[in-house]
Amino acid sequence: MSSVGTPDPNSGWLSDEELAEVRRRLPLLYVEGIPVRVDGLGRVTEVGMLLRASATGAMTRTLVSGRVMYGETLRDALFRHLEKDLGPMAFPLLPASPLPFSVAEFFPFPGESQYTDPRQHAVSLAFVVPVTGTCDPRQDALEITWMTPKEATSDAIAADMEGGRGTLVRAALASVGVLP
């Protein structure tokens, strides 16, 4: 006989060892959020780039990104990662129907895709998300820098981004009609 009870709220979390084993065997699902500021007509005026220290200690630019947990909706995962990286006062405006502008497939080895992640094979659904509040980066993000679309798509910024995410930023801005 099974007992009825409250589901484990952390059942979607894996230990470090379990995550390493899963990463060796299966592609994982991620969401990527490109935070933007928009004008009164909804045109993108600024793109938010996070500054982080990489595992090797190098300073890199990146986007809001993270895994989708078991039993979690895409909307909830995207909101959770936006709040985790940008702070609770960012006030993201999630779309009524969350459809990604792109699906990026990251491989642990170069050449298979324009996106790489040495840890794993991952599939990432990428969204452009307007934010209206104050961003105060948390977790491992050191700061957020707001850039014009032209600055955000520059070769210099793309060179500072790991795994091909500069290409993802260009695709994001193309999807909303502001690729310089």
User: For residue range 80-99, what is the model confidence (pLDDT) as tens digits?
Assistant: 999 999 999 999 999 888 89
pLDDT tens string 134-180: 999 987 889 999 999 999 999 999 999 989 999 999 999 999 999 88
| Residue 154, domain member (yes or no) | yes
| Residue 3, domain member (yes or no) | no
The domain containing residue 159 runs over which residues? 22-174
| Residue 180, domain member (yes or no) | no
Q: Is the distance from CB of 122 to CB of 27 less than 8 angstroms?
A: yes
Is residue 54's pLDDT more than 90? no
| Residue 81, domain member (yes or no) | yes
Q: How many domains does the chain have?
A: 1
| Residue 14, domain member (yes or no) | no
CATH of the domain at 44: 3.90.79.10
Q: How many beta carbons lie within 10 A of that of residue 126, not counting itself?
A: 22
pLDDT tens string 97-146: 889 999 999 999 888 899 999 989 999 999 999 999 999 998 788 999 99
DSSP-derived 3-state class of residue 110: coil
| Residue 163, domain member (yes or no) | yes
Average pLDDT score over the chain: 90
Identity of the amino acid at 118:
P
Which one-letter DSSP state was computed for residue 92?
B
What is the torsion angle, in degrees rounded to the nearest 10, for the CA atoms of residue 125, residue 36, residue 64 and residue 103? Answer: 10
Q: Which of 21, 26, 22, 14 is nearest to 121 (CA)?
A: 26
| Residue 45, domain member (yes or no) | yes
What pLDDT does 132 receive?
A: 96
Is residue 55's pLDDT more than 80? no
Q: Looking at 8-22, 35-49, 75-89, 150-164, which range is the least confident one? A: 8-22
Q: Which of 158, 159, 160, 151 is nearest to 179 (CA)?
A: 151
What pLDDT does 50 receive?
A: 96
| Residue 16, domain member (yes or no) | no
Which one-letter DSSP state was computed for residue 162?
G
Q: Is the distance from CB of 144 to CB of 135 less than 8 angstroms?
A: yes
Residue located via tokens 């990251």: 106
Rounded to whole angstroms, how far apart are CA atoms 63 and 36? 11
Average pLDDT of the residues in 25-40: 95
Residue with more model confidence, 149 or 2 = 149
DSSP-derived 3-state class of residue 82: helix
